[in-house]
Amino acid sequence: MAYTQKPLDDFPLLSAEDSAVGEQMLYNQVFFSKLAEYGVVPQNEQEAVSALQMAISLRSVKEAQAATTSVLTEASDALTGVINPQSQASMQAAEKAASDHQALSAIVSDPTLYQLLLSGAVHSHAGAAE
């Protein structure tokens, strides 16, 4: 019997919900693989959820920082650095301090991340794997 190709209409498409679940599962696999490369392996479901929550919080901080930086500001800063290198260094130091403060504020404002930071759970997992 010869094979006949079915029209595409005969194949069910994934719903938006199924697609989102599949995407999240793929993200989780990649995320935990990357953590394992650095010696961080969640020991239970609660630690895994905490790690995912940290990733979400850190990503939102990074996106917020990216949204506040414009191409014109970066170009102006680069020009200032060429004209006056000392001024550029002090501006970079101030930007880094502001960025560090914003990231620390995000961690401290999230009770799960804050408790994880205080418990040293992430650091202890990295040390145990070495």
Cα-Cα-Cα-Cα dihedral of 38, 39, 45, 47, to 10°? -80
Domain count along the chain? 1
3 found inside a domain: no
Q: How confident is the model at residue 130 (pLDDT cuts 50, 70, 90)?
A: very low
In a domain, 25, yes or no: no
Half-sphere exposure of 23 (CA within 13 A, CB side): 7
Using the structure block, give the residue that is written with the tokens 């418990």: 119
pLDDT per residue as tens digits for the range 15-55: 777 777 777 888 888 888 988 998 989 899 898 888 888 88
In a domain, 83, yes or no: yes
Instruction: Please report the pLDDT score of residue 76 as a whole number.
Output: 81
CB 79 within 8 A of CB 34: no
pLDDT in tens, 54-90: 888 888 887 777 767 777 777 787 787 778 766 666 7
Domain with 88 in it: 44-130
